[in-house]
Amino acid sequence: MPLEHLLAVAFVLFIMGGAGVLARRNILIVMMSIELMLNAVNLVFIAFASTLADNGGHVMVMMIFVVAAVEIAVGMAIVVNMYRQRQNIGVDSFRIMRG
Amino acid sequence: MELATIMMYVFCVCAVAGGVGLVVAKHPIHGALSLLMSMLCLAGVYALLGAHLIAVLQIIIYAGAIIILVVYVIMLLDVVGSDSAGFYRKAGLAVIPLLALLVFPLVQSVAGVGDKGNREAAEGGVGCEEGKLCETLCDDDKDNDGDGLRDCADPNCGSQPACYGTVKAVGSSLLGRYVLPFEISSILLLAGIVGAVLLTAPKPEELERPVGAPAVDATDDPGEEA
């Protein structure tokens, strides 16, 4: 499979993740869309690592795994807190983060 | 066209379809399942590209840990969405043959038959014995041919030599050349753990008494409740 096709797939995934972040009002869907964007970046790293036969891309993908895991853990903690206080997880209710 | 190439295209199409499902999902649980499908398909793509360790980690971390966390939160919060269960029930049935497809690249990875370098090594070809290759050619910063790349990309070993993408090769570069980012990421994980615990832990005043106990209980120190 040529590199260009993989990059095209990654581009489409990233654009869809961005569309989800911008268009959806549910905070859970927004966070999952961010995960989708991170996955698109991972695909770019793996595609170039495969083309160049270099393991550095794999290490970078592992770093992105760590960042994604931390982000989803802290984000879900914030979502749970927000739901406890306001019984609402729409993005519009996140204008004020102060408890 | 080779079978692996066809499967890679199938996985790419399904990954994009999972992304579309995430963006258009009415209920977050449907979005989570669509994202799960997208991640599993990307794991298949990684395995077919020779990134065996990353493919397995993708399934364990993303499909295992992160999706489970999201689904837990969705169930915990009991968010109400509009009912579109009929469509997703049919879509869920379509995922089953896809998961069956996913078995192929993973088995291929484990067996090593899909890896070009391994296959050539198995055929006694260009001297890509795994131990020798990983000890000599994958030394950090060794660049004998002066092309700016490390010699894992040695032309004698094909485009994907046996030292590419395996646990040994990725692990040695993770703990060798990239050890500083590795340690920094562990600090980041620690910060994430502390942050998540601090954010979700009950307030100290809630911890003073057990759950369900009356607000004023008989303690030895009457000033504590004040």
ipTM score of complex: 0.92
Among residues A41, A70, A40, A51, which one has the least CA distance to residue A1? A51
* 3-state SS, residue A84: helix
Give me the residue spans of the domains in chain B.
3-114, 117-205
Residue B223 pLDDT greater than 70, yes or no: no
Per-residue pLDDT tens over the stretch B150-176: 444 444 444 444 567 788 888 888 898
Report whether B127 contacts B155 (CB < 8 A): no
CATH number of the structural domain spanning residue A63: 1.10.287.3510
Cα–Cα distance for residue pair B197/B195, rounded to 1 Å:
5
Contacts of A19 in chain B (CB under 8 A): 23
Cα–Cα distance for residue pair B45/B51, rounded to 1 Å:
9
Out of B12, B28, B189, the one facing A66 most closely (by C-beta) is B189
Q: Is B174's Cβ below 8 Å from some Cβ in A?
A: yes
- Return the pLDDT at B164: 76
Cα–Cα distance for residue pair B135/B123, rounded to 1 Å:
20
* Selected residues 8-37 of chain A with any CB under 8 Å from a CB in chain B: 9, 12-13, 16-17, 19-20, 23-24, 26, 28-29, 31-33, 35-36
Out of A13, A28, A68, the one facing B73 most closely (by C-beta) is A28
Cα–Cα distance for residue pair B29/A29, rounded to 1 Å:
9
Domain count, chain A: 1
Distance to chain B for A74, nearest Cα, Å: 5
Q: Phi, psi (5° rounding) for residue B131? A: -60, -50
First to last CA, chain B: 78
Q: Return the CATH fold of B3-114.
A: Four Helix Bundle (Hemerythrin (Met), subunit A) (1.20.120)
B53–A58 CB contact, under 8 Å: yes
Q: What is the pTM of this model?
A: 0.74
Q: Which amino acid is it at B83?
A: D
Cα–Cα distance for residue pair A71/B77, rounded to 1 Å:
19
The answer to whether residue A28 sits within a structural domain is yes
Cα–Cα distance for residue pair B204/B209, rounded to 1 Å:
10
Cα–Cα distance for residue pair B168/B199, rounded to 1 Å:
38
- Determine the residue of chain A that is closest to B81 in CA distance: A26
- Full domain range(s) for residue A53: 3-94
- Return the pLDDT at B159: 44
Contacts of B66 in chain A (CB under 8 A): 35, 68-69, 72
Instruction: Give Cα B198 to chain centroid, integer Å.
Output: 26
User: Can you list the residues of chain A whose pLDDT is less than 70?
Assistant: 1, 97-99
For residues B212 and B197, which has the higher predicted lDDT (pLDDT)?
A: B197
- For Cα atoms A44, A46, A48, give the angle at the middle one, nearest 5 degrees: 70
The answer to whether residue A99 sits within a structural domain is no
Residues in Cβ contact with A29 at an 8 Å cutoff, skipping those fewer than 6 apart: A20, B22, B23, B25, B28, B31
Which of B9, B10, B39, B49 to mutate to test binding with chain A, by most A CBs within 10 Å of its CB?
B49
Q: Is B74's Cβ below 8 Å from some Cβ in A?
A: yes
Q: Phi, psi (5° rounding) for residue A26? A: -90, 125
